[in-house]
Structures are given as C-alpha cells and as structure tokens.
Structure 1
C-alpha cells in the first residue's frame, strides 16, 4: 500500500467536551495531536449542560472547528435514540452539517452494553434512521460523509444483531485485547482481528470496509477486574504492532483509545482514567512517542504511488513473522517486519523477554541504501547498508522498519527527545522540516 495511505489509517479518540478532564485545555489537546502526527480524530456530538445549552453548543462547534483548522478530519458518533439527552437525530446531524472536516458519522456506541434488554430490537432501527437521514441530507451527501455502523461491546452480539450492512458504508469494531498481543485472541471475551475474528464481524457488516474505532491499553495497575493493565513499554510495542497488523488486514482506519488520560489517578484504580497516549498533564507516554516515530518514518514528502510493486522474499524467522510493504515516492519502499509474540504477561504483570530471530530480506534488485529502524526506540537508523539487494534484520518483540532507497538520500533526522506540553497559551509549533 502507499506509505501515505498507511498514515491515513491512523486516528485517535478524543473527548473535547469533557470539560472536567484534561481535554478542557483545547489548545494543548490540539498541540498533542499535531505533535503525534495523526490526521483523524473520533468524538461524539455531546449532551448540552441543561443550564448552559446555548453556550455548550457554541463551544462544541468552536472546538470541532478548531480541530479541522489544525488539519484533523472528524469521525463523529451521531447515532442514538430518536429523541434523548443528546437531542434528536435531526439536531445531531444539524450540528454536524455546520462543521467542516467531518468525513464520517457513526452509529450508536456499544449499544449492547448501554441500551438495555431490548438493545437488539432498537439498534437496527436507530442505525437505519441514521443512514437514511445522512443520505437524504443534501449537504452531507455533497460532502460525501460516510456512515459507520454501530460498535458492539461483546463479540457474541454480532450474531445476535445480524446483518446491517445495508445501513452502513463502513463496518465498526472495538478491538481490545486486555494486555495481550494484538495478533491473536487469547483472553476469554476479548476481541481481536485474527483467528476468525473478521468472520464474526462480517455477520453484521457484510463485505463493507472496516474501521476499528477503539483499541488501546491502560496502565491502571491497582484496578482489579475488567481489562488487565499493561506496562508502558510493552504497550508502546503492542500499539505499533496493532497499527501495522490492522493495516495489513485491510482495516480502513484504526482509532487509538485515547489521546489523554482524563484526570489524575495516582493510585491507578480506574482504567477509564489511564488509557491515554499522554498523561493528564500532557506528557507523552512511550506509546505516544512510538506512534509518532512510526508516522515520522513512514511519512512521504511526495505522492506515494498507487500500484507500485516490490517482490520481497523473507527467509528465516518462524510462523510468528508478519510483514507489510509500503511504497514511497521516488522509487523508495518500506518493509515493516514484526513478530506475533507476547512481550507482556498481563496476569503476572511482568515483561517477557523475546530472543531475536534473524530475518533475511531478499530484494529483486539492488538499492542504493537500506536502513533499519526500531520505531519503539527512536528514528535513528540501527543498521545501514549501501548498494545491496539483501539485508539481515534481527526481529524480536518490537517492529523493525526497513527503508529502501534507490538513491543515497539523507536518513530521517532525529529531532531530540519529546518535550512535555507545558504551555496553555496555544498549540506547540510543528516540528520543523516535517510533513506534519
């Protein structure tokens, strides 16, 4: 796939109207998004505060508009009961109609968990109403706003819901693994896009392209029950592997849950306060830095070509090896390599050491420079070869990015350690010299 196309598969969840959380500081929220390098955000048309309805609606519009001006494209949850605390469907679509940058509207969120005993009867009605109203709206139709299906909280409920593919342009999945690796399903009740998981989803989405609208890892180590926590280092490794794995499976877009820890939770008692790529003071966690590094390595200064082909032969490794080939402009390519091996034990809550395996990347022709990177660790090459048609790469638990250039161009420059977000006066400047 085009390298720039991969960058378009990465998004992040935000809650810009959670005004009693870190999201209250919208300038720093935008600064964090721009620093991260993502182009897509997911949020919801929120409930007004009853005593401040007019102010609330105006503030919500202002914040969504600021996201668009910062270069973000919006996927907004708009589905729900016909007339509830979020306003009628007409009200919700009216808010969206007044916004720029909205690329998709989404059906009800995990309604099998939130909609009561009759959720399976009500959910198809709400989804079909959203689809019909969006397609009838001349403004939204003119902007080619797509309709995303509803998300479900439990895997078994796709069979209960049945086929709703006629009421969506894109299918919807929440893929939490509870501290497990993203490539396989091992935790009872968890859902990941492997080992038949896609077939389960297809019961509702048919052959529609898929979005993963939530996936992530939390570090609430004092919470008992619910999802097990994940150490910050392993979470960084798993997050990069998640994005690569989903792209390799053809997922249209993956939204990480979520941008910020919502509030301080020093005791680590509540997972909902600890899913952030950044903590509540806007300091990036290792997963944020790893995602940023991945996007910096895969960005393209020109137009990534569609239909470019590179026949790569991989030798060595075992059946845990995964790969993805990306095309860059100027005849360059990227080969991403990773292994479906656990680096974290969520029950013992300890790191797992993974012995590297040497993988030989054999190429159909010689490239002027081959550089290997480990995005979890940084954007400085860990191995460089010149005028070669093969490269030996040790692959352990963390992904390796092999960049192949037909010319002796300069490698990606390291821009130093990430800075914490310390100013509330406005978004941080973009990194100099970059595509973001």
Structure 2
C-alpha cells in the first residue's frame, strides 16, 4: 500500500470514528434507526371535512344556521360537503371554509350537457361571490338513488351504471376545460351498497372506467363489521373483525373497501365523502365516539385518503332515547352542545394546524418498540385476554414548518363487541412503547386526548435519547423539537 493510500485510509477511519463518537455522545446508535420522512401537519388538518345539510329547514342547519356556523368556525374544520343551497358556500367562504359541492342529475330527470354546464356556471358564480368551492363530487350513491323506484335519474337516456359513468366523464371534461374551474378537484361518484370484491356481486363500475374522469376516487366506508376477513378471536371478541367497529376495520389489515371500491378509479388516490358513526344506542356511545373520531381522520390520512368527510356535523333531530340512527351522526348534539368527539377533533386540529406556504418535510431517525400485554383482565366484562398484536399501535409522523415533529400514536383496537345489541363496550389496555431517537432532540412534550376530548400536556425528558410511554385507545402525540 502506498503512503498516500495509507494516509487516506487513516483519515477515513478517523472521520468515521469522530462521527460515531459524536452520535454516541447524544445516546445515538447510527446503524439502529430507519429514517421516516414526515408528512405536513397542516396537510393532515386540511384533509378533515364534515358533511352538512344547509337545505334541511327543520333541522339546526336551517333553524339555527348562524350558531351552527360559529361552532364550525370554532372547531377549526376547514371543509364541508354539501350543495349550493342559497348562498351558504359564499357565506362560509368569508370565514375561510371551503365547500365540496355534490353535483348530480336532478331528481326524475334525464340530464345532458346543459345539466353539466349549469353546474359549472353555478360554481363560477358562487366562487366569484366569495365562495371557496375547491372540489366537485359526482353522483351520490347512484346505485341507491338513480334507480326508477327512488329518484329515477338518467343521463343521456341511460340509468345506472352507464349513465353515471357518462355523467362523470362529461363533468370532468367541463370542469377542466374552463380556466375558472380547472383547478378544482373532481371527485368520483360514490356507491351505497355492499359489493363483494371476489364473489358474485362485484362493483358495477368496471375497473378503470373512471380513471381519466377524476382527480380523486370516492367511497363511503362506514366502520362496521368486516366479514371479508380471516376470522380469529381477539380483544375478548369472537371473530374479531366480523364483530368490531374500529375506524380502520375495512381499510387496513383486511382492506375490503379499497379492494372493492377503488378499482374503477385506479391509479388515482381516494377521497371519503362519507364515513363516521352514529351515537344511537345500537352503534357507539359518546365515550367511544370521542376515541374513534380523531383516530378515524388519522387512519384515513395514514392510508393516503386525500379528504375525509365525517357524516355529519350536527345531529339532525332530538332523540333523547337514542333509538334513531339517522338522528345521531353529529359531532354536535341537536341542541348544539358539543359531544366529546367535537372537543377531541377541535383540540387535535388546534395542536396540529400550521397554515402557510407549502414546504418539504424532513425525516426523523427513530424506532418504536411495542410490547404486548398478557393476561389482561378487561374491566367491564372481567374476561382475561392477551393483547399481543403489537402491530395495532399505529402512528403518523407529522412536521410543522418550524421543523418540529409530532409523532401521533394510538392503539387501533375496537371498543365494541357488536355480536350483541346494544354493543358490548370494551376497555382494552394501553400498550407499552419505547421510542428511541436516532438524532439529537432538544425538547419533548407528550399530549393526550382524554375521554372528554380535552387535551392535556406533560413536559418530559429523554433518557439516553429514548422515551417509554403507554399508548391507549385514545390519541397521544409526542412533540419533538430537534436540537
């Protein structure tokens, strides 16, 4: 070996040793950590949407509009899904609230190009008057509402599904060719019935039929049981996926809804213009609702759903006995008092909102070590179970423009056994998690959503650049400020 090569080798070894010593001084083992690129915290906030019904005169939407609007503004939710009723989109736009407009053929009519152009003109007129319509959605559940026995809709003489496909293609073309609407996101039609991705009742919209007629596909995955899954017992529940209702039940481990409803739109990403829970007594309690709703928005964002609209913002009717499913979907009760879920979503948004110019998030070097809980006695049923599916601790890594990271964690587990009615409530354990950091961190804080939806914060310190915490079935957020 020549003298110059020996010198180069010595310098390289010295450099590596110096880097390793520096990292170890911060408690970092450089070979142990993968680097995950964060996603924009504000992009998550921007994905949150709620359905409204401004045109329903016998509900709080019509009777107490100004009060509902103020509750909406206070929530921090930036997107609603509705129609053109009166000048509601324009009025909401003044407060920065955007509207996803549902576009469809009028009831009991045969639409044509004039129908499409009327929709485009309405959007342009509304936006010119201050509305912030940024998305237009195709037909709402036409497999339910286009049929002759319901609202008997057609487009160019065709019913469902051919007429719906033709309508969507013409809608997309008209929106994109007009310079005043070309920037709008065009969302595909949704379906309302259950179809079998591998059986005798397939999605009636053919694979790829709408790929060139949308920016985002669409589906309405309400979290109920998932029989399109492998049956196993877990969480004190027989046939766990069949008899549960946790937020990701149909989109993650057994992604029935993606498998069934995304093929017509592939490779475009999906939006969810309806999902959520009713707090009537046959579905979820307000306590469970408060756990599920923040997790629902996070789960859909984690699965790259572009916009997630909860159905809906306000309970439409008073129902003290909680016997009517359709009366209890709101984040607000009928009297406009907040359910705990409203507080939870509001506080999550307040923590993570970060409006401003687009930026490119950076990466965080870290690892998560999740440990099981064995022989856990569930407090309500007194049943003993092992919680060993550590993959059910889910996370989303977010970052704000000031480079602060927010690691959002939750135990994605069911809080109900739906094999009985009303559902049996379950209190699963928190799972112990050790967070190890592979880069210097200056300050750490832990935020947690409580059962009432309130957000508490606990300053903490790293020990050897790591942190141990218990992750419950409610959202916790670890704030990490880089050194």
Contact 1:369-1:387 at 8 Å conserved across structures: no
Secondary structure of 2:174's aligned partner: helix
Q: What is the aligned counterpart of 2:191 among 142, 147, 152? A: 152
User: How big is the shift at 1:335?
Assistant: 0.6
Tell me the number of residue pairs that the alignment of Structure 1 and Structure 2 aligns: 383
Structure 2 unaligned residues grouped into runs of 5+: 1-38, 149-158, 196-200, 230-239, 372-389
> Distance in 1 between the 2:165 and 2:137 partners?
13
Question: What is the CA–CA distance in structure 1 between the aligned matches of 2:175 and 2:401, rounded to whole Å?
Answer: 37
In 1, the alpha carbon distance for the partners of 2:122 and 2:354 equals: 34
Indicate the SS of the match to 2:391: coil
1:336-385 CA-to-partner distances (Å, cap 9, x unmatched) read: 11122111233342321111111011111232221111124422214522
Partner of 2:402: 330
TM-score, scaled relative to structure 1? 0.81
Q: Which moved more, 1:190-199 or 1:344-353?
A: 190-199
**Does 1:27 find its partner at 2:52?**
no
Tell me the distance in 1 between the aligned counterparts of 2:276 and 2:217: 19
Confirm or deny that 1:398 pairs with 2:452. no
Report the 3-state secondary structure (helix = DSSP H, G, I; strand = E; otherwise coil) of the residue aligned with 1:204.
coil
* Cα gap change, 1:349 to 1:129, in 2 (>3 Å): same
Structure showing greater radius of gyration is 2
Distance verdict in 2 for CA 1:128–1:135, change over 3 Å: same
Q: For 2:168 and 2:356, how far apart are their aligned partners in 1?
A: 39
Which residue number corresponds to residue 99 of structure 2? 74
Aligned equivalent of 2:437 = 363
CA drift at 1:40:
1.0
Inter-partner Cα distance in structure 2 for 1:84 and 1:388: 69
Q: How does 1:343-422 map to 2 (within 5 A)?
A: 343-346=415-418, 347=420, 348-376=422-450, 377-382=453-458, 384-385=460-461, 389-406=465-482
Kindly report the root-mean-square deviation, in angstroms, between the aligned alpha carbons of the 2 structures: 2.7
The answer on 1:342 being equivalent to 2:367 is: no
1:93 and 2:102 matched: no
Written as runs of structure 1 = structure 2, the 5 A alignment for 1:416-431 is none
Aligned residue in 2 for 1:50: none
Q: Give the Cα separation in 2 of the matches to 1:305 and 1:146.
A: 21
Q: SS of the residue aligned with 2:394? A: strand
CA apart distance, 1:191: 7.7
Using the alignment, how far apart are the partners of 1:99 and 1:158 within structure 2? Answer: 39
- Cα contact 1:179–1:344 (8 A) shared by 2: no
- For normalisation by structure 2, the TM-score amounts to 0.73
Inter-partner Cα distance in structure 1 for 2:164 and 2:300: 26
Give the CA deviation at 1:187.
Answer: 5.7
Alignment of 1:139-288 (within 5 A): 139-141=180-182, 144-156=183-195, 159-162=203-206, 163-178=209-224, 186=242, 192-194=250-252, 195-197=254-256, 198-221=258-281, 228-288=282-342
**Residue in structure 1 matching 2:139, options 108, 121, 138:** 108
Partner of 1:290: 344
Structure-2 separation of matches of 1:384 and 1:67 = 40
Deviations 1:393-429, CA, capped at 9 Å, x for gaps = 101211211111237xxxxxxxxxxxxxxxxxxxxxx
| Deviation for aligned residue 1:158 | 6.4
CA contact (8 A) 2:50 2:80 kept: yes
Quote the Cα distance in structure 2 between the aligned partners of 1:191 and 1:161: 23
For 2:370 and 2:40, locate their aligned partners in 1 and report how far apart those are by CA, in whole Å.
26
Equivalent position SS for 2:136: strand
